[in-house]
Structure 1
Amino acid sequence: MNVLVVGCGRLGTRLAGLLDEHGHDVAVIDSNPDAFRNLSESFSGITVTGMPMDMTVLQNAGVESCDAVAVVTPDDNLNITVSQIVREFFGVQNVVARISDPARENVFERFGLKTVCPTNLAGDSILTALTQPLASKNLSFESATATFHFRAVDQAHEGIPVSAAPKDVGETVFGVLHKNGTLELYSADRKIILTEGDKVIFAKVID
């Protein structure tokens, strides 16, 4: 895909780098030329200095041939303006805008824009960390995704080796989180005996 990233702050830098690593053709716009120093030395895309609302700047960045545009500056008002320009004047339908103010997210959506609100995402993540510290976690490794989840050791399973812990089809033992807070990784030549209060970590490839 040809993707234009508007804004080269922390989020824009991260996004542009990920897109570039995945083989997409990437262009980045920022009004501050120093912002491009944050990009990796291996970044193979193009950078364009200028005001994102300037249609000539957008054209110089190749917006007319873009399949998707991400508008991720720290300014919500600028993001909605640029997103509308890209959609209405250049006909790019796949536009995603960063919205820092959760109260504005619904407003943006009424304009037909796809939005991502870092404030809401961070709030949800912190809530999960506080209230569900042992919730399942997913990790992606290139094209594969693995899920990790915990099961508490009850009295009935105390004293058995972790290799004998009951598990579902496709699961493998990853390690044991002991009740004292230490983590012990499992290997076939390592015998770990379970005690009540421990938590067994299981891993399973889901994609």
Structure 2
Amino acid sequence: MNVLVIGCGRLGSRLAGILDEQGHDVTVVDADPDSFHNLKKDFSGITIVGMPMDIKALRNAGVEGCDAMAVVTPDDNLNITVSQMAREFFGIDNVVARISDPLRENVFKSFGLKTVCPTKLAGDAISTALTLPWESKTVTLGTSTATFHIKEVDYAHDGIRLSEVPKDDGEVIFGVIASDGQMTLCRGGNENPVLEEGDRVVLASVID
């Protein structure tokens, strides 16, 4: 896949490196030539110095032939403008934009743009790490990220049914890990076992 990455800060350089390692053809655009020092020494893609909103710079970067674009500068306003240019002017359907302010997420979505918010992801991950005894896991599918965390059944909840497990808004029960380590998935059927102290309930929720 031919991917254009706009912005070569910490996020942009890491993304470009991952895509490059996966074998994609990657071109990175940034107005500051020093930003390309963030890239790994073995980065095999192309770097273009230019303003992200400059149509000439985008054309020099091969925007008209790219399959996807990631717009990941620190400036939300710049990201939404460049993303709209990519979709409306150059006809690129697969555009993902970074937003730093979670409150502006709806603005981006109203334009039909796919977004990722590092602030929101980090906040949810830190909250989970602070409040849950088992390490949480996150999985990103498309532009949505789901988190999986575990609540251990304590003495006070010994003998309750699975359906009675306390859940936060937006959480669903994914499965149960018995005290012997065996995991049973909840398939949306009639599974509603009685839980014992030491069992662990796996909860899932979409965080972005």
Length-normalised TM-score, structure 2: 0.68
Distance, in Å, in 2 between the alignment partners of 1:102 and 1:136 is: 22
Aligned-partner SS, 2:35 = helix
RMSD: 2.6
Q: Does 1:133 align with 2:133?
A: yes
Dislocated runs of 4+, deviation >4 Å: 147-154
1:63-78 maps to which residues of 2 (within 5 A)?
A: 63-78=63-78
Distance, in Å, in 2 between the alignment partners of 1:51 and 1:127 is: 37
Say which is worse superposed, 8-17 or 120-129, in terms of deviation.
120-129
Distance, in Å, in 1 between the alignment partners of 2:127 and 2:138 is: 17
- Which residue pairs with 1:60 in the alignment? 60
- Which residue pairs with 2:50 in the alignment? 50
- Which residue pairs with 1:114 in the alignment? 114
Distance, in Å, in 1 between the alignment partners of 2:66 and 2:102 is: 28
Seen in structure 2, the aligned counterparts of structure 1 residues 152 and 80 have a Cα distance that, compared at 3 Å, is same
Structure 2: segments with no counterpart, 5+ residues: 140-147, 156-178, 185-197, 201-208
Distance, in Å, in 2 between the alignment partners of 1:84 and 1:136 is: 35
Seen in structure 2, the aligned counterparts of structure 1 residues 95 and 151 have a Cα distance that, compared at 3 Å, is same
Indicate if the aligned counterparts of 2:8 and 2:28 stay in contact, CA closer than 8 A: yes
Quote how far apart the aligned CAs of 1:77 are: 0.5
Indicate if the aligned counterparts of 1:136 and 1:150 stay in contact, CA closer than 8 A: no
- Which residue pairs with 1:166 in the alignment? 180
Number of residue pairs aligned between Structure 1 and Structure 2: 156
- Which residue pairs with 2:123 in the alignment? 123
- Which residue pairs with 2:29 in the alignment? 29
Seen in structure 2, the aligned counterparts of structure 1 residues 199 and 17 have a Cα distance that, compared at 3 Å, is farther
Seen in structure 2, the aligned counterparts of structure 1 residues 27 and 135 have a Cα distance that, compared at 3 Å, is same
Indicate if the aligned counterparts of 1:135 and 1:150 stay in contact, CA closer than 8 A: no
Amino-acid identity (%): 66
